[in-house]
Structure 1
Amino acid sequence: MDAGPIGAHKLSRWQLFTYGQLVVPMAVIGLPLAIYIPPFYSGTLGLSLTAVGFVMMLARLSDVVIDPFIGRWSDRTHTRWGRRRPWIVAGVIVMAISSIMLFVPQMEVSNAYLLIWIAAIYLGYTLIEIPYGAWGAELSEDYHERNRITGSRQIFMLIGLLIAITVPIVASVMTGGGGEKSAASREAMAWLGWLTAGMLPICLILLLSSIGEPKVGYSTPISFTDGMRIAMRNGPLRIVLLATILGALAGSINAGVAVLFFEKVAQLGPSSSILIFVLFFAGVLGSPFWVNIGGRIGKHKGIGVAGFISLFAFAFVPVIIYLVKPAYPGAVFPAMLVITLIQGFTIGAAPILGQSILADVCDLDTIKSGEQRTAFLFAFLAMVRKIFEAVGVGIALPILGWVGFNPQSSTNSSVSLFTLTAMYCLVPLVLWVISTTVIWQYPITHERQARLRAALDRRILRRAARLE
């Protein structure tokens, strides 16, 4: 199925649905990889927690290294089925098999077993994620339509995260645990594994049967070195890159200590899982709003407005902990719930409008480089994001250890608890403010993007005329 030239038509609601829904199984398995695999393989299956952490780090590093290669190879793939679809099909096969092997182990596990299958599932994820993101960026040349495409993807991503949170609870109840079994039990992990493996081929068929790939109209391959040099001279890309680095650091530091903060500082107990669910649910409700706002005031300003609203609310966390909690401890959860609702409503803005911005940056890069290399730029940005996400965790946890914080103790010092609060809120807050300020300077408006597309279309026509 051939979609024809980029931007030849506006995607129907069904096409938006079938494009976005592929991320549901990816989100269903993606969240457990981060929060359930360590307790599952250490607590339930008996491996050393230290060894599990080391294995996961090795697997993640292998994933980071391969990102740019997958992007570059996808850009230069030419088959009768397109450039992106063969890679996505391969990724679905790899991910479906490895999700079963990782979450429903059929034999006695070892460190080597974990390394093989977690590396495989990361590989499958990358084989899908990079070509899939590039495909979405190429589906339209229109400034507003790109917001609709990335908005669809983000809504389904949040739905997948909600499913990932809910499934272990349902599995515990359905298997006789009454909701008391660990979220990392064999039963819960098996449900996640089989659900992912079952959903992936169904979602793939829906995608392939409804969405075609645009024709490549303008592309002259250049060397990797020349390509990187041109990319680093791309001013808008540098802005996106810096904002991504700061945002990844902030998000990683915040997420890496969030559970510890809820348990040791806010002392919310089981109620913290409600906050996580509310965060993602509010994100689903808010995503269409940010698609619309990005089209009205500009994508970068939409991210800025959402960011500053979210950060204003998040800045009240220390107030709740140090002023409200000592006087009215029962008010901590309602106050945190209000903050979470505000943050959740705005959580979709940056992923939706940021990915749409990157599609516009790719137009400029094509003009400057002569090669249509959307997947490579998506992969390069993903690699940078993953590196600084790892750096964030590598900063936060050692600092907590250095000040004497003990996650197994109920009597940590005031200094260590303040440091935990700083890692959860204050440090990310500063980084997010800088990141939001940086993206506010992004120069490609709706009008400039239209001029870029017109210039690129003229080059495509001239090239076609020379080849005739």
Structure 2
Amino acid sequence: MDSAANVRLNKGELFAFSFLVVPMAVIGLPLAIYIPPFYSGTLGLDLAAVGIVMMLARLADVVIDPFIGRWSDRTRTRWGRRRPWVIAGVVVMMISSIMLFMPQISISNLYLFAWISAIYIGYTLIEIPYGAWGAEISGDYHERNRITGSRQMFSLIGLLVAITVPIVASQSGDHGTAASRTSMAALGIITAVMLPICATVLFRFVPEPSFHHTEPIAFRQGLRIALRNGPFRLILFTVMLGAIAGSVNAGVAILFLEKVAGLASSQSSLLIFVLFLAAVVGSPVWVRVGGRIGKHRGVVLAGIVSLCAFALVPAVIYWLKPIAPEWVFPALLAIIVVQGLTSSASPILGASMLADVVDLDTLKSGEQRTAFLFAFLAMVRKIFEAAGVGIALPILSWSGFNASGSVNTPFALFMLTAMYCLVPLALWVGCVFIVAQYPITHERQQRLRGALERRLARRAASRLAVEPRVMPAD
């Protein structure tokens, strides 16, 4: 049984493994940013109802996360543990992306609920086994940064594709809106076409890691062990705060940029494009920073720099805009560049940190359950993402904000500013403080991995010793 402790992927394998996140990112961005204005502004559904529907759909998806993780960990097929689940997710996402982004029948809240629920489930069927696959490929501290860094780079490429399509659509005279029927349909088609191609490349060129036999434990016992894992709890708390902050911020981003900042649709789309382009540029930097100063310190450093820049948004709106409105776009562009350059630190180093925590969990629980831990965090993240969009949009509706109107009250615009900036800012400060307490350094991870490899080797030797030997025939 080969050890994953020092496995290093070559560039071709790294490309093949990371390629799948491109279509997932292409569809993931619109779910967060474009679905609310598309179904409320373009298709005419009530804004508060859209927020509630998205929250309920997210909560419906949450229920299946731990089961997918647990079943994936315990799947045994000739094709591996993770591949069958990824195939199922690809099929579900191909169908639901077309139905959600290219609606051909009368639109209703029930239609939105059905197909956004389906696409969330398909996404989960891919995300959890795929994430576990990546965490198990290598046990090396730095190689894990490299794998998550590559995956983040390809994810950002997908996000750039997702934001470029609306920019092109808004410039082509398609009613001047980023969330138009044309741009949404293009995103749905791109996703449906790319998913099977990227999955085929993954299956062809990246072998699944060797499975180490471990003893299964009961669900409740495993959950108690996970919640007693100190580093895992810290990651859990940051996921809670970060998910609700990101959901609130992303769910109203387009509305804020156009209704409060007064930017044109093309300028709003350009800002988001620059955000992700800067993130691509910054990604390799954070892989190196995490290797030099430690993963959690890299996240803290990036968080402090990003929050200092984002805290300037209210000054741009309430001080700069009244006296020099022509400088609002350049000022927000500068803030976005800083945020973009630092934004990759958390997904790259955070995912690598979770892979290290899985080693500690395997030592404590005795079971290799990478997908379960990924699924548990995904479940928590989705609950808080659902809470974010389910709270923010109804609050805006209560404040009198009109997404399709050209005039809103100062109070409604202030509430939109609070949802975009002030509330997320406070929550992200909490995230930075929690991450600073994370205890697994490079040296401790090496000790953990060494102890885990020795335990797995002893278990394998023990199994070989008790297995009956087949005597050769005379």
Q: Do they superpose with TM above 0.5?
A: yes
**How many corresponding residue pairs?**
462
Q: Pairwise mapping of residues 318-333 of structure 1 onto structure 2 (< 5 A)?
A: 318-333=314-329
Q: Which residue among 432, 453, 456 is the counterpart of 1:436?
A: 432
**Equivalent pair of 1:170/1:179 in contact (CA under 8 Å):** no
Which residue is 1:215 aligned to?
210
CA RMSD of aligned residues (A): 2.3
Q: Which residue among 323, 337, 341 is the counterpart of 1:341?
A: 337
State the alpha-carbon separation in 2 of the partners of residues 45 and 318 from structure 1: 31
Which residue is 1:156 aligned to?
154
Q: 1:45 to 1:4 in 2, by over 3 A?
A: farther
Tell me which moved more, 161-170 or 370-379: 161-170
Quick one: which amino acid aligns to residue 233 of structure 2? R
Quick one: which amino acid aligns to residue 389 of structure 1? E
Which residue is 1:64 aligned to?
62
Which residue is 1:412 aligned to?
409
**Equivalent pair of 2:178/2:269 in contact (CA under 8 Å):** no
Deviations 1:1-44 (A, max 9, x none): xx943235311111111111101111112222334445555666
Quick one: which amino acid aligns to residue 357 of structure 1? M
Q: 1:67 to 1:338 in 2, by over 3 A?
A: same
Q: 1:434 to 1:183 in 2, by over 3 A?
A: closer
Q: Which residue among 144, 147, 169 is the counterpart of 1:146?
A: 144
Which stretches in structure 1 are left out of the alignment for 5+ residues?
A: none
Q: Which residue among 243, 252, 257 is the counterpart of 2:247?
A: 252
Deviations 1:325-352 (A, max 9, x none): 2222221111111110000001110001
1:96 CA drift (Å): 1.5
State the alpha-carbon separation in 1 of the partners of residues 14 and 33 from structure 2: 30
State the alpha-carbon separation in 1 of the partners of residues 183 and 107 from structure 2: 17
Q: 1:323 to 1:101 in 2, by over 3 A?
A: closer
**Equivalent pair of 1:28/1:163 in contact (CA under 8 Å):** yes
Q: Which residue among 263, 268, 271 is the counterpart of 2:258?
A: 263
State the alpha-carbon separation in 1 of the partners of residues 284 and 374 from structure 2: 23
* SS, match of residue 214 in structure 1: coil
**Does residue 1:192 correspond to 2:187, yes or no?**
yes
1:105 CA drift (Å): 4.4
State the alpha-carbon separation in 1 of the partners of residues 108 and 29 from structure 2: 22
Quick one: which amino acid aligns to residue 279 of structure 2? G
Q: Which residue among 228, 232, 240 is the counterpart of 2:227?
A: 232
Q: 1:299 to 1:402 in 2, by over 3 A?
A: same
Which residue is 2:197 aligned to?
202
1:401 CA drift (Å): 4.5
Q: 1:110 to 1:337 in 2, by over 3 A?
A: closer
Q: 1:50 to 1:340 in 2, by over 3 A?
A: closer
**Does residue 1:273 correspond to 2:269, yes or no?**
yes
Quick one: which amino acid aligns to residue 195 of structure 1? I
Quick one: which amino acid aligns to residue 62 of structure 2? V
Q: Pairwise mapping of residues 98-117 of structure 1 onto structure 2 (< 5 A)?
A: 98-105=96-103, 112-117=110-115
Which residue is 1:132 aligned to?
130
Which residue is 2:379 aligned to?
383
* SS, match of residue 217 in structure 2: coil
Identity of paired residues, percent?
68
Q: 1:106 to 1:329 in 2, by over 3 A?
A: closer
Quick one: which amino acid aligns to residue 273 of structure 2? F
Deviations 1:167-198 (A, max 9, x none): 2444577xxx5454644444333322222111
Q: 1:261 to 1:183 in 2, by over 3 A?
A: closer
Tell me which moved more, 124-133 or 215-224: 215-224
**Equivalent pair of 1:38/1:52 in contact (CA under 8 Å):** yes
Tell me which moved more, 398-407 or 139-148: 398-407
1:85 CA drift (Å): 1.0
State the alpha-carbon separation in 2 of the partners of residues 430 and 37 from structure 1: 25
Q: 1:254 to 1:446 in 2, by over 3 A?
A: same
Tell me which moved more, 5-14 or 360-369: 5-14
Which residue is 2:287 aligned to?
291
**Equivalent pair of 1:406/1:412 in contact (CA under 8 Å):** no
* SS, match of residue 213 in structure 1: coil
Quick one: which amino acid aligns to residue 435 of structure 1? C
